[in-house]
Amino acid sequence: MADTTPQPAATPAPTTPGGPKSMDAIMALCKRRGFVFQASDIYGGINGFWDYGPLGAQLKKNLREAWWQDMIMNPAWGRKGPNGERVRCVPLETCIIQHPKVWEASGHVAGFNDPMVDDKETKGRFRADHLQGLYQIGDYESPLADLLARTASTGGAVPVCTVVASSAGEAIDQLLNTRKLQKELGIRTITSRTPLTDSTRPFVSVDMGNLKADCEVLAVPMPTLKSRFAEVPSPFTGKKGVLTEPRQFNLMFFTYTGAVFNEESKVHLRPETAQGIFVHFKNVVDSTRVKIPFGIGNTGRSFRNEVTPRNFTFRSREFEQAELEFFCHPDESQDWYRFWRDFRMEWWRSIGLAGENLILREHEKDELSHYSCGTSDVEYRFPFTAPGFGELEGIAHRGNYDLTQHQTHSKVKLDYFDTTRGETLPNGSKKGERYIPHCIEPAAGLDRGALALICEAYTVDPSRPSPEFLKLHPRVAPIKAAVFPLVDKDGMPEVAEKLADALFARFGRHGFIETDAKQSIGKRYARMDEAGCPYCFTVDGDTLKDQTVTVRDRDTGRQERIGLDAVPAWLGERLGL
């Protein structure tokens, strides 16, 4: 039986203005207006898979195209890079299924495994190596908060915080020093404190803003977790005897090629688009005139059999990535890393994620992979991560790790001969230098991007005809404009249709131009507000006399009159098209 996802409540309470945004209300709006549907909805859905409705599909297309335009066709908005030259990038489109050796070389066969533990009663599942007692890394719904709330309200026993560590000291140390985790979970402060009742058992005090509590810390060494899992308290309930033995779980989906199903025909669905780029590095260099430094971009579906898909589309099992691998000389790599890190932050801001909900977080040294000399995440404060943040995009300095790995596994030379470097010869030319380029990787998730845009745009104002509406940035808004006749008679529909045709001819490839003559004008505006349409043009009695129309701004609700003929130019200026 397929694992199914519960639907959001049928009529969730909209968010209180100024208060935290309600994820249930956002999900309900997404379904009501056709942004996001559960995959296989009429069969009850399938956990970890989401489809986009008409508006969502266009929103995501606009996001993908904005990325493509600003990262590939006109990279970094035509800016010069740290080398003083215009940034150059080319696209690639690679298969979901690759040769099995690709995933051996990339490390995904050996390293994309998580040891998983299940709670047999709650069906909760978590990574054994991240068993931080009452919560887990990368899981944005915090069982810690639930447990503390329950304990506080019932005056129950002190919660036990189980940590995989070899000693109590190490456990406390992990708890106090996992800053990323604390941020994600909204822990403001966590301090070690004198034991409450028993001097042999350590405690921590956790402050989560509205919740403050003491937790007992229980250190469980990994070998113990494996052999005596039944004695480890469940991180969800604190109960013993309900956990299963940790089992290795590879996050890659697999299938078979050809008619025979055996180990030889087994292939994986890609868990990232990046590797398709590395394996074609030489083909791109040989087939185009690109010279280092340059980037190769790739967008498309990736698949990860996430153990706990959750938080709407945030952690899905099928999702879309937009990745750039930017190849450069090792000596320039730090400059390029900073360049892309800063540009990516600016880019997300430019499409509507401005404000304090967006942050750039530089990884701590101990968070970096062994080959990386720098990684930053662009993070957004989603309603389900607040007050913490969730990753939208990672910008990693990957050194020459990937090309070296593929060179070793494929036995094909993936180095680069740079004719602009090396000693200067007597004839004035350079001797040249051979090296394996370093790589900077801005890796974005388009589903998380679309979700962040929707969450940021979602606004509640009970004084408006549409108490909930989406302030989507015009560049990504799926409906670019609406044209309405005030009433469905007196020649107004004909004028409106002509105007809609003109707008469609100019802007139709960027999004919908809506027309609608039914219902009151207030209801039609409200529908457009909920769909995030930035401008509505209304043809009324005066239009027929003075050739002007009303234009209504979604965000302010203000109306002004402009000439009928001026509408395409007026709209083009505001849409930046």
User: Does the CA dihedral 376-178-313-11 come out positive or negative?
Assistant: negative
The residue number with the shortest CB distance to ligand GAP is 445
* Nearer of residues 138 and 221 to ligand GAP, judged by Cβ: 138
We find the least distance from the C-beta atom of residue 12 to ligand GAP, in angstroms, to be 23
Within 8 A by CB and 6+ apart from 210, the residues are none
Strand residues in 398-545 grouped as ranges (E): 416-418, 433-435, 438-445, 458-460, 468-470, 479-485, 512-515, 535-539
* Nearer of residues 346 and 553 to ligand GAP, judged by Cβ: 346
* Nearer of residues 379 and 468 to ligand GAP, judged by Cβ: 379
How far apart CA 524 and CA 550 sit, in angstroms, is: 14
How far apart CA 167 and CA 220 sit, in angstroms, is: 8
Cis peptide before 293 (omega within 30 of 0): yes
We find the least distance from the C-beta atom of residue 361 to ligand GAP, in angstroms, to be 12
* Nearer of residues 318 and 529 to ligand GAP, judged by Cβ: 318
Nearest to 505 by CA among 574, 552, 571: 571
* Nearer of residues 441 and 529 to ligand GAP, judged by Cβ: 441
How far apart CA 490 and CA 483 sit, in angstroms, is: 16
We find the least distance from the C-beta atom of residue 448 to ligand GAP, in angstroms, to be 4
- Distance from the first to the final alpha carbon of the chain: 48
3-state secondary structure 150-192: HHHHHCCCCCEEEEECCCHHHHHHHHHHCHHHHHHHCCCEEEE
User: Does the CA dihedral 258-262-263-269 come out positive or negative?
Assistant: positive
Element (H, E) at 394: strand 390-397
Site residues (CB under 6 A) for ligand GAP?
A: 272, 274, 304, 306, 315-316, 319, 321, 323, 391-394, 441, 443-445, 447-448
We find the least distance from the C-beta atom of residue 453 to ligand GAP, in angstroms, to be 13
Nearest to 238 by CA among 114, 111, 122: 122
Ordered DSSP codes for 191-206:
EEE--SS-TTS-EEEE
CA angle 370, 374, 379 (to 5 degrees): 115
Q: What is the Cβ-side half-sphere exposure of residue 131, based on CA atoms within 13 angstroms?
A: 36
